[in-house]
Amino acid sequence: MIRHLFTLIWNRKRSNFLLITEIMLSFFVLFVVSSLLVYNLYNYRQPMGFRYDNVWEITLNPGTDTTALKQKVLMVMQQLKASKGVVGVTQTSSNTPFSFSNMNGTRQYNHKQTPVTEFYDADDELRHVLGLNVVEGRWFDRRDNAAARTPAIINKAMQRAVFAEESPIGKIMTDEHNKEQWQIVGVVESYRSGSDFAADEPAMFSRKEITDPSSKMNGGYNVPVLLLRVQPGSGAVLEQKLVKDLDRMTKGWSVTVDPLEKTRISKLKVVLTPLCVLGLVCLFLIVNVALGLFGVLWYNINQRKAEIGLRRALGATSTGISQQFLGEMLVVTTLGVAVGVVVAAQFPLLGVFGVAATVYLQAMGVATVLIFSLTAICAFQPSRIAAGIQPAVSLREE
C-alpha cells in the first residue's frame, strides 16, 4: 500500500513537489511562531521568585526640595513602619517589579565578563517585604555594616552562568575598571521582576544606602522609591491615610502609591499585546494553509475523475478510494514536514537566540501536530467526494 502511494506521488511529482514545498514552508513558519509561544508559556510557568500580593510601591518625588533629603525619607519610613496595617518597609531602586525601568550591565570575575545582568539596590528589609527565597548563604544584615566591599546577592541564573557548580559565597566581583568590588554573601532562587512572561535571567542585588543627597540620576536628584508590605485586605482606606500622613510630613512632595498587583496588570497588557497579534498571525496562517490544501485537493479530484472511475469499475470500494486520497496527502505531508524538521533542527543545534533546546523541540512537536491535523481535516471532505464518484459519471464526462 505504501509503495503504491509513493508510486502515485512520483507519477505526479511536479504538482506534488509544489505541495511539499508549501507544506514545508508552512511548517517552518508555524515552528517559528510556536517557538515564541512555547518560550513565553515556558517562562510563565517558572516561579517568579518573589511575592507581589499586598505589596505597594510608594514613589516620593521631592521636586526642587533637596534639603535634608535623607533625613526626611528616613522619617517617612519610620512613620510608615509605625502605621497600623503596614507589615514591612524597604528602600529600593527605580527598577521595581513590573516597572518599565531597567538597570543592567556586566561585571568581571576572574578577568572574565559576566552576562548582561539586571542590578538592584536593596537593604536589609527587601527579602521580608518581597518574600525572597535565599537558597545559599544569607541575606543582608548588620554584619555587612563594616564590610570592606559592597555586599551582593545573586540569583541562581547568575550562579549557573558565572560559577557553574562552584559555590559563589565569598567570591569577589569587580567592575570593568576594577575600581569597585562586590563580595557575594548569598544566593536567591530566582527573581523574574519584568513580567509573568520574563525569562529567568541573571540578577544581582547590592546593599547600599539609596537615599543619598549627593547621588544623581538623569540630571536630577534620586527619586526615593519605597516598597510596603501591608496586611491582607488593606485597601483604599489605608492608602488614603498613608498619602495624607506623607503629604503632611513632606509638604509639597509628590507622593504616588501603586499596588504591585495593579502594576502587574498594566505590564501584562503591554506584554500580551504582541503575543495576541502573534496568535492572530498564526491563526491567519493556519486558515490560509487549510484553504490552500483544500483547494489543491479539490482540484486534484477533478483532474483525476477518470482514474477514480476506472478504479471503481475494477472493483475498488468507496472506502478504498477515500483511504487512497487521505494516504497520499499524509505521505506528501510527511515529506514536507521531514524537510522542515531538518531546517528547524538547526535552531537548537546552533543555540539560536540562546533559547533552551527543549523549547525548540516542543515547538517542532506543536508545528508537526498542527500540519498533520490540518492536512487530515482538509483531505477528509475531498476524499469523501472522490469516494462518491460513480464509474458511469466519470466515463461519461470523459
Is the same domain home to 128 and 261?
yes
Above 70 in pLDDT, residue 219? no
Is the same domain home to 245 and 280?
no
Query: Can you give the pLDDT at residue 15?
Result: 63
Say how far apart CA 398 and CA 395 lie, in whole Å: 5
Is the same domain home to 200 and 65?
yes
Locate 206 and state its grid cell: 547590592
Is the same domain home to 72 and 42?
no
Is the same domain home to 243 and 279?
no
Average pLDDT value for residue range 118-135: 94
Is the same domain home to 8 and 120?
no
Instruction: Using the 3D structure, point to which of 266, 301, 326 is the last residue of a domain.
Output: 266
Cα–Cα separations (whole angstroms), residue 247 to 72, 240, 266, 314:
12, 10, 26, 94
Instruction: Using the 3D structure, point to which of 251, 266, 281 is the last residue of a domain.
Output: 266
Instruction: Using the 3D structure, point to which of 248, 266, 284 is the last residue of a domain.
Output: 266
Average pLDDT value for residue range 196-205: 93
Is the same domain home to 24 and 70?
no
Is the same domain home to 287 and 225?
no
Is the same domain home to 75 and 197?
yes
Q: What is the pLDDT of residues 279-311, one digit of tens each?
A: 888 788 778 877 877 777 777 766 666 666 666
Residue 100 CA, chain-centre distance (Å), reads 16
Say how far apart CA 331 and CA 326 lie, in whole Å: 9
Say how far apart CA 69 and CA 325 lie, in whole Å: 79
What is the pTM assigned to this prediction?
Answer: 0.79
DSSP string, 303-320: HTHHHHHHHHHTT--HHH
Above 90 in pLDDT, residue 133? yes
Q: Is the distance from CB of 259 to CB of 56 less than 8 angstroms?
A: yes
Q: What is the pLDDT of residues 350-359, one digit of tens each?
A: 877 778 888 9
Is the same domain home to 40 and 138?
no
Above 50 in pLDDT, residue 148? yes
Q: What is the pLDDT of residues 68-118, one digit of tens each?
A: 777 888 888 888 988 889 999 999 888 999 998 889 999 999 889 999 999
Q: What is the pLDDT of residues 220-271, one digit of tens each?
A: 446 788 999 999 988 888 888 888 888 888 777 888 899 999 999 999 999 9
Cβ neighbours, 10 Å, residue 235: 10
Is the same domain home to 262 and 276?
no
Is the same domain home to 232 and 312?
no
Query: Can you give the pLDDT at residue 21?
Result: 83
Q: How many folded domains does the chain comprise?
A: 2
Average pLDDT value for residue range 171-175: 94
Q: Which domain holds residue 207?
A: 55-266
